[in-house]
Amino acid sequence: MNQHPYLRAYMAGVAVPTALLLVGVTVFFFARFVFNVPLPIERVVIFPLTIIPNAFGLWNMLYVKLYPRWKTPIGLHGAILPFLIGPIGFTLAVALGFITATEHGLVAFGVIRIPYGMLAVAPFVAIAAYYLLWKYGVGFLNREVGIAG
């Protein structure tokens, strides 16, 4: 099964965020329709729906490309991805008006106030979550489709 390793890597990478999208969209739907948070949901889901799965797929292709040379653990490889995705997501959120910066912190979606102190923790949470997702989610799928993992 040595054919199209990059295609298989892309598909294995895409599968994890696509499955988790259900959870994310459910969270946003509850926030919007149950708790009446004024989310422009059709614009909010653009980033998780389009950019994140493709980023996972391409990042996994890069992992397969680099693996023979560097033998990086897949968890570590995945933990680097938030450094790329985070700024893109933040820029997009600011550009589309979901997040505004105030004197005391960020205001997300018009109602959620996040103090700057708490924001210092956010990158570590993202890194930890991505590390676990890549190690146990993408790594498992990579092994199943017969590529490095």
Partner 1 sequence: MQEHDAEKVRESLKLVFPPVNQELQRDLWPLMLRRMETPTTAVPWYDWALAGAVTVLFVFVPKLALLLAYHL
From candidates 9, 12, 14, 52, binder to partner 1 by CB under 8 A: 52
Strand 112-115 versus strand 99-101 pairing type:
unpaired
Instruction: Indicate whether 5 belongs to the interface with partner 1 (CB under 8 A).
Output: no
- Binding residue for partner 1 (CB under 8 A) from 8, 89, 147, 148? 89
Q: What are the backbone angles phi and psi of residue 108, rounded to the nearest 5°?
A: -95, 135
> Least distance in Å: CB of 65 to partner 1?
24
Tokens of 62: 């890069």
Instruction: Give 4 or 136: the residue with its C-beta nearer to partner 1.
Output: 136
- Which tokens in the block code for residue 53? 């799965």
Distance CA 139, CA 137 (A): 5
Cα–Cα nearest to 78, from 8, 1, 7, 9: 9
Does 14 interact with partner 1 (rule: CB under 8 A)?
no
Does 86 interact with partner 1 (rule: CB under 8 A)?
yes
Whole-number Å distance between alpha carbons of 12 and 137: 9
Q: Which of 62, 80, 108, 145 binds partner 1 (CB under 8 A)?
A: 108
Q: Which of 146, 16, 149, 133 is nearest to 71 (CA)?
A: 149
> Quick check: helix, strand or coil at residue 7?
helix
Q: Which range touches partner 1 (CB under 8 A), out of 2-10, 57-65, 66-74, 124-132?
A: 124-132
Residues of this chain that bind partner 1 (CB under 8 A): 17, 20-21, 23-24, 27-28, 31, 44, 47-48, 52, 82, 85-86, 89, 93, 98, 108-109, 112, 114, 118, 121-122, 125-126, 128-129, 131-132, 135-136
